[in-house]
Amino acid sequence: MRLTPDFLLRVARETAQKRALAEPDLAAVYLTGSLLRPDPLLGGAGDIDLVVVHAKEPAARREIVPLTAEVHIDILHRSRADYARPRQLRADPFLGPELYAPVWLYESQHFLEFVQAGVRDKFDAPENVLARARLLAERARQAWNGLQTSQEETPTRILAYLEAVADAANAVAVLNGPPLAERRLLLEFPLRAEAVRAPGLAGELFRLLGSEMSTGTVLEDLLPEWEAAFLDAASRPKVEARIHAARLGYYKLSFDAILASESRRAILWPLLHTWALAALVLPAPKQARWLAVCESLGLAGVGFYARLESLDGFLDLVEEILDGLAKEQGL
Same domain, 211 and 298: yes
The pLDDT value given to residue 153:
73
Asked if residue 172 is part of any domain, the answer here is yes
Q: What is the mean pLDDT of residues 199-211?
A: 95
Query: Does residue 36 lie in a domain region?
Result: yes
Report the pLDDT value the prediction gives residue 236, as an integer from 0 to 100.
96
What band does 258 get if pLDDT is binned at 50, 70 and 90?
very high
Picking from 120, 146, 163, the residue at the C-terminal end of a domain is: 120
Kindly report the CATH number assigned to the domain that includes residue 30: 3.30.460.10
Looking at the fold, whether 137 and 262 belong to one and the same domain comes out as yes
Instruction: Return the exposure string of 23-32: e unless at least 16 CB atoms fall within 10 Å of the residue's CB, then b.
Output: eeebbbbbbb
Give the integer Cα–Cα distance in Å for 50 and 68: 17
For residues 81 and 178, state if they share a domain. no
Q: Indicate if 254 and 132 belong to the same structural domain.
A: yes
Q: Average pLDDT of 138-159? A: 90
Question: What is the mean pLDDT of the segment spanning 128-139?
Answer: 98
Q: Round to whole Å and give the CA distance between 55 and 287.
A: 41
pLDDT surpasses 90 at 113: no
Q: In this structure, are 72 and 171 located in the same domain?
A: no
Confidence (pLDDT) at 276: 96
Assign 62 a pLDDT band (cuts: 50, 70, 90): very high
Domain count of the chain?
Answer: 2
pLDDT at 144 over 70: yes
Question: Which pLDDT does position 24 carry in this prediction?
Answer: 84
pLDDT of residue 260: 95
For residues 152 and 287, membership in a common domain is answered with yes
- Assigned domain for 331 exists: no
Mean pLDDT of the chain: 94
Mean pLDDT (whole number) for 103-112: 87
* End position of a domain, from candidates 67, 101, 120: 120
Per-residue pLDDT, 52: 96
> Is the predicted pLDDT of residue 150 greater than 80, yes or no?
no
What pLDDT does 172 receive? 98
Residues 189 and 236 in one domain: yes
Domain-located, residue 185: yes
52 in a structural domain: yes
Report residue 216's pLDDT band, with 50, 70 and 90 as the boundaries.
confident
93 and 168 part of one domain: no
Q: With 90 as the cut, is the pLDDT of residue 214 above it?
A: no
Pair type for strands 71-79 and 46-54: parallel
Q: Are residues 272 and 194 in the same domain?
A: yes
Q: Could you list the residue range(s) of the whole structural domain that residue 68 is in?
A: 5-120
265: confidence class by pLDDT, cuts 50, 70, 90? very high
Report pLDDT digits (tens) over 185-204. 999 999 999 999 999 999 99
Domain boundary among 93, 120, 147: 120
Whether 316 is in a domain gets the answer: yes
Q: What is the mean predicted confidence (pLDDT) over 99-111?
A: 89
The pTM assigned to this predicted structure is 0.95
pLDDT of residue 1: 60
Quick check: 44 pLDDT over 70? yes
Shared domain for 179 and 281, answered yes or no, is: yes
Note the pLDDT of residue 110.
Answer: 82
- Residues 88-99 have pLDDT tens digits of 999 999 999 999
Instruction: Detail the DSSP E strand segments found in 25-68.
Output: 28-32, 46-54, 62-66
Q: Is residue 330 part of a domain?
A: no
Same domain flag for 162 and 71: no
329 domain residue, yes or no: no
Q: Which of 135, 7, 28 is nearest to 71 (CA)?
A: 7
Phi first, then psi: give them for residue 177, nearest 5 degrees.
150, -170
d(CA 124, CA 50): 24
Q: Taking a C-beta distance cutoff of 8 angstroms, is the pair 112, 26 a contact?
A: no
Residues 115 and 132 in one domain: no
At residue 75, does pLDDT exceed 70? Answer: yes
